[in-house]
Amino acid sequence: MYQSILRQQLELLKSSNQYRTFTTLSRICGQYPLAKLEGAPDTPVVVWCSNDYLGMSQHPLVRQQMHWALETYGAGSGGSRNIGGSHELYARLESSLADWHEKEAALVFPTGFGSNDATLQCLLRQIPDCVVASDERNHASIVNGIRATPNERRVFRHNDVDELEQILSAYPVDRPKLVVFESIYSMDGDIAPIAQIVKIAKRFNALTYLDEVHAVGMYGPRGAGIAAKLGIADQVDIIQGTMAKAIGVIGGYITSTQTLIDAVRSFATGFIFTTSLPPAITAGCLASIEHLKTSSCEREQLHRSSGTLRERLRQHDIPVMRCSQTHVLPVLVGDAERCKAAAHRLLNVHGIYLQPINSPSVPVGTERFRVNATPNHDLNQIDHLAASLRETFDHFAIPLASQASAAEVA
């Protein structure tokens, strides 16, 4: 009976084009963004949708420090930090993160998903009667953390500061409130009105929780994110980030006051009862962050490459969605079946890996490719991508930018 129920659910997923499959790619160290495709090892493909935004997973310094830590400390951490002990590398990494965001303290988690999920659950359970206001396009990790608590929750329209103000104004000033939002939204590439949100939150005595996972390393002084770029990081109560994207390794973190960090460390079950990052991973994260604090060449090249890619796509009439303001370039397809077919053709005909983004990750009718250049993509690869997308769009009669709605594409 149980197998039958699960099979039915899987068939529904497949029939709606929401079933996910893995493409087996083996990245080639030192040759990023090239990877070997399973079954065709002699012809590398070019990866165009990795979150390794700056190619730091390949950086010699990061790899060197990971090798050093592996040979010095071994492979695993031995358990949670409460049971296995808290390695000195964790303290150094958390100190570096707190310095990066100019906060009093930081706390590291094994993943970015876990840092959002565990922290939000903890805060909402520990702060009595706290109401949470969440942007409608917040990441699944944020949604998961909020839904796991019985707290009253309100969802405001994406980046709509007027609706947020209406929500917060409906509660007494002394009622605990938490506003949760992101700086850069990964599927649209747009930027939140951070300054306005923070101003409104302060007016109504609400804590602010900002997810900067798609910004850290790439924006602001020393790569500390959008809030730092705007000069208002000190006004944001909690900044959350990841070490799996621009930093190039894995792990999540939060930064805030010493008291808040200590509370999450002491009460968050998602932190207390999980194995800590291995020393080699921690060393790699620390090396990457310290490098990005002082080196701007990677992010400068990222933004140059992103600008070149955006222009090449425009020249080939490829519909980049108007919402994009950042390095994330959402290319509109608008149909789940054609999006999957186009991805297959790009991979097998043109040697380009782009993952189709379909519902429920994005609304039905806005299916897309989420494209991003890195400092490692050269001009030939950028030109090849633009030409290949145009050939693929023509092949499947996918509407071009000149044929799509002006409200949707630039």
Cα distances (angstroms) measured from residue 156 to each of 129, 136, 151, 159, 330: 19, 6, 16, 8, 23
Q: Is 245 one of the catalytic residues? A: yes
Given 103, 177, 245, 340, which residue is catalytic? 245
Listed residue (142, 112, 395, 88) closest to 245, CA to CA: 112
The CA distance from 389 to 385, in Å, is 6
DSSP state letters, 128-194: TT-EEEEETT--HHHHHHHHTS-S-EEEE-TT-HHHHHHHHHTS-TTS-EEEEEESB-TTT--B--H
- What 8-state DSSP symbol labels residue 220? S
Residue 349: how many CA atoms within 13 Å on its side-chain side? 14
The three-class DSSP label of residue 26 is strand
DSSP state letters, 232-281: -GGG-SEEEEESSSTT-S--EEEEE-HHHHHHHHHH-HHHHTSPPPPHHH
The CA distance from 253 to 236, in Å, is 15
Q: Which residues are catalytic?
A: 245
